[in-house]
């Protein structure tokens, strides 16, 4: 596990930061998790024990000496750091302000990896003093369970940094996927293509949310978790793909904005788990129960998928 930095800093302790920090720490790094919000830090500290249990359950690679410390003191969080992973909200101006605060405190050799969901790295790097040190490192949620990370160099990213980050990701046994830069990167382009069609089908009343979830989980998700879309085409036959895509592609949803019914729900304060209601409604204790079911399912699925050939 020699490629792993001895000291790493995660900036932003919301949905993504704690799982990222815990994964690196279990692999042996000393990790500082920083946030501007005391409340976010308190929540992360409370969740850390649970996340450690999950990492143990999936046999995430472990090495002695790793730890996570939590705090709102940026200078302390950056002391001696080699790798910074930025996980603050998805707003370009905020991320650029954070980069400026970081660059005022760190040496030129320190790497900054951004967990942006899809803002082009080249755009983000424009404001940096040392643009070559910025690289995209897109973890998938929940980051301590999904063992794949997209690596996206921008136009200014140092070439050597790409290989270095690939080695870091391999050091904690995740699959690095190296990509060329494109808005949304690969994972979210595919996910958002699926979500666009799903939301259109719901809006048009073609299927219920329950029916949609069952169809996508068993008809698509189960299959794609084993074979991937490229191999799926070989299994189905390229001639079948041609026959279907020739009439179906032109009928698929091509909306460019968020669906109105989603905007309406947001206006009503329905954001999902975080507000006890979104696509579904949740009563007392339901959100905690669903979160547990999801984690249990992901642990079981990851164990199974790790034990079968990579087809
Ligand atoms: N939520 C998700 O499923 C995924 C999110 N991402 C990306 O990761 C990044 C973080 O997303 P989430 O964790 O969901 O966001 P979040 O909103 O849950 O957490 C962000 C945290 O950053 C903190 N923060 C705000 N300004 C800060 C500053 N100046 N310095 C330090 N901390 C600051 C907030 O207090 C908050 O705790 C975003 O770029 C997002 O697009 C990537 C993969 C999945
Ligand atoms: C709905 C949604 N949007 C973005 C992301 C991301 O990868 O940035 C995710 C995710 O699961 O990681 C997501 O579910």
Q: Mark 164-180 as b/e (b = at least 16 C-beta within 10 Å).
A: bbbebbebbebebbeee
Same domain, 72 and 221: no
Q: Check pLDDT > 90 for residue 232.
A: yes
Query: Among the three residues 133, 148, 183, which one is the final residue of a domain in this structure?
Result: 183
Same domain assignment for residues 59 and 173: yes
CA-nearest of 33, 25, 83, 71 to 52 is: 25
Q: 115: closest CA among 141, 133, 97? A: 141
Could you tell me which residues come within 8 angstroms of residue 92 by beta carbon, excluding any fewer than 6 positions away?
119, 123, 124
Tell me, yes or no, whether 300 and 233 share the same domain: yes
Average pLDDT over residues 131-149: 97
Whether pLDDT at 223 is above 50: yes
Per-residue pLDDT at 202 exceeds 90: yes
Query: Is residue 230 domain-shared with residue 250, that is, in the same domain?
Result: yes
Pocket lined around ligand 2, Cβ cut-off 6 Å: 117, 140-141, 187-188
Query: What is the atom index within ligand 1 of the atom nearest the CA of 118?
Result: 41
- Based on the domain organization, do 263 and 142 belong to the same domain? no
For residue 72, being part of any structural domain is answered with yes
Looking at the structure, do residues 67 and 168 belong to the same domain, yes or no?
Answer: yes
For residues 206 and 251, membership in a common domain is answered with yes
Cα of 35 to ligand 1 centre, how many Å?
10
Q: Which residues pair with 34 in a beta bridge?
A: 11, 71
Average pLDDT of span 105-109: 98
Tell me the angle at which helices 260-267 and 185-203 cross, rounded to the nearest 10 degrees.
90
Rounded mean pLDDT of 196-208?
98
Query: Is the same domain home to 160 and 207?
Result: no
Neighbouring CB atoms inside 10 A of 272's CB total 14
Residue 310's pLDDT is: 86
Residue 1 has pLDDT above 50, yes or no: no
Please report, for the domain that includes residue 202, its CATH number.
Answer: 1.10.1040.10
Shortest-distance Cα residue to atom 28 of ligand 1: 36
pLDDT (tens digit, 9 = 90+) per residue, 60-96? Answer: 989 999 999 999 999 999 999 999 999 999 999 999 9
List, for residues 146-201, the tens digit of each pLDDT value. Answer: 999 999 999 999 999 999 999 999 999 999 999 999 999 999 999 999 999 999 99
- Domain membership flag for residue 2: no
Ligand 1 center from residue 56 Cα (angstroms): 25
Ligand closest to Cα of 90 equals: 1
Q: How large is the ipTM?
A: 0.97
What's the total number of domains in the chain?
A: 2
What percentage of residues in the chain have a pLDDT greater than 70? 99
Q: Is 270 a residue whose pLDDT tops 70?
A: yes
Range 192-212 average pLDDT: 98
Residues 172 and 191 in one domain: no
Q: Which of 87, 88, 141 is the pocket-test mutation for ligand 2 (most atoms within 8 Å of CB)?
A: 141
Are residues 160 and 191 located together in one domain of the fold? no
- Cα→Cα distances 298→146, 222, 291, Å: 8, 12, 11
How far is ligand 1, taken at its centre, from the CA of residue 14, in Å? 5
Which of 168, 183, 198 lies at the terminal end of a domain, its last residue? 183
**Rg of the chain in Å (alpha carbons):** 21
Tell me the three-class secondary structure of the chain, residue by residue.
CCCCCCEEEEECCCCCHHHHHHHHHHCCCEEEEECCCHHHHHHHHHHHHHHHHHHHHCCCCCCCCCEEEEECCHHHHHCCCCEEEECCCCCHHHHHHHHHHHHCCCCCCCEEEECCCCCCHHHHHCCCCCHHHEEEEEECCCCCCCCEEEEEECCCCCHHHHHHHHHHHHHCCCEEEECCCCCCHHHHHHHHHHHHHHHHHHHCCCCCHHHHHHHHHHHHHHHHHHHHHHHHHHHHCHHHHHHHHHHHHHHCCCCCCCCHHHHHHHHCCCCEHHHCECCCECCCCHHHHHHHHHHHHHHHHHHHHHCCCCC
Given 124, 157, 183, the domain boundary residue is 183
Q: Residue 274 belongs to what domain range?
A: 186-306
* pLDDT at residue number 2: 60
Query: 165 and 269: one domain?
Result: no
Ligand 1 atom with the smallest distance to the CA of 114 is 39
265 and 173 housed in the same domain: no
Residues 6 or more apart in contact with residue 35 via CB below 8 angstroms: 11, 12, 13, 14, 17, 41, 44, 72
Query: How many Å lie between the centroid of ligand 2 and the Cα of residue 140?
Result: 6
């Amino acid at each position: 596990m020699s490629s792993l930095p001895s000291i790493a800093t995660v900036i932003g302790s919301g949905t993504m930061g704690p799982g990222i920090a815990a994964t690196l720490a279990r692999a042996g790094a000393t990790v500082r998790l920083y946030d501007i919000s005391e409340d976010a830090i308190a929540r992360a500290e409370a969740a850390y024990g649970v996340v450690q249990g999950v990492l143990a359950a999936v046999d995430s690679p472990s090495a002695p000496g790793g730890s996570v410390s939590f705090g709102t003191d940026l200078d302390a969080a950056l002391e001696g750091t080699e790798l910074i992973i930025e996980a603050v909200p998805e707003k370009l101006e905020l991320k650029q302000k954070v980069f400026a605060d970081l660059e005022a405190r760190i040496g030129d050799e320190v790497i900054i990896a951004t967990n942006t969901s899809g803002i082009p790295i080249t755009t983000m790097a424009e404001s940096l003093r040392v643009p070559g040190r910025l690289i995209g490192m897109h973890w998938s949620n929940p980051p301590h369970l999904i063992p794949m990370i997209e690596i996206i160099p921008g136009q200014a990213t140092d070439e050597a940094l790409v290989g270095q980050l690939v080695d870091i990701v391999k050091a904690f046994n995740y699959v690095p996927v190296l990509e060329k830069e494109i808005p949304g990167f690969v994972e979210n382009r595919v996910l958002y293509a699926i979500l666009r069609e799903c939301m259109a089908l719901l809006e048009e009343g073609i299927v219920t949310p329950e029916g949609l979830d069952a169809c996508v989980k068993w008809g698509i998700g189960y299959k794609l978790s084993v074979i991937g879309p490229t191999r799926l085409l070989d299994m189905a036959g390229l001639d079948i793909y041609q026959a279907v895509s020739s009439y179906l592609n032109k009928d698929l949803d091509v909306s460019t904005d968020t669906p109105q019914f989603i905007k309406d729900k947001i206006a009503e304060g329905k954001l999902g788990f975080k507000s006890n209601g979104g696509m579904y409604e949740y009563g007392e204790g339901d959100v905690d129960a669903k979160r547990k079911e999801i984690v249990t399912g992901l642990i079981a699925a990851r164990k199974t998928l790790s034990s079968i050939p990579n087809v």
